[in-house]
Amino acid sequence: MNDSGLTHFDEQGQAIMVDVSGKTETHRTAVASGLINVSRPVFEAIRQGTAAKGDVLGVARIAGIMAAKNTSSVIPLCHPLPLSKCSIDFELLEAECAVKAIATVKVTGLTGVEMEALHAVSVALLTIYDMCKAIDKRMEISAVHLDKKSGGKSGEFIR
């Protein structure tokens, strides 16, 4: 680590992949969530399974899982990780006319899975947008954040 405390930069300020070789392998979990606010017609199409492109939440679930598995291909300095679990759950929020996506990612490894959980949620929400944009393009993705993480040197975090 350099003097600034920023682990993704060397002493000369060049971007680097963090050296995790000296870390201890631990069980690590991260949970992230986010929202997509939709119109009433989009909400009903999702709930009733009538969107023209098919099972919106089923496809978004697969997209989120695939995203978690491929995070290191998209986020330049992330380590490729052998994930032991990735699940994507959805809550239909009637009053808000929104869908909440929740990603849970686990690994036994040398580095955490926060980015994998955040990436999974983001892609799941983008997939909902893609599958429903023919109904209404005014959907809004928001509140993507880390809810909690455990394992590793920094221990437990709960938002």
Question: Of the residues 55, 89, 130, 147, which is catalytic?
Answer: 130
Is 78 a known ligand-binding residue?
yes
Q: How far apart are CA 124 and CA 76, in angstroms?
A: 20
Is 126 a known ligand-binding residue?
no
Amino acid at 74: V
Is 91 a known ligand-binding residue?
no
130 is catalytic: yes
For residue 4 the two structure tokens come to 């600034």
Q: How far apart are the first and last CA of the chain?
A: 26
**By three-state DSSP, how is residue 114 classified?**
helix
Query: Would you list which residues are annotated within the binding site?
Result: 77-79, 115-116
User: What residues form the annotated binding site for substrate?
Assistant: 77-79, 115-116
Give the residue numbers annotated as catalytic, written as ranges. Answer: 130
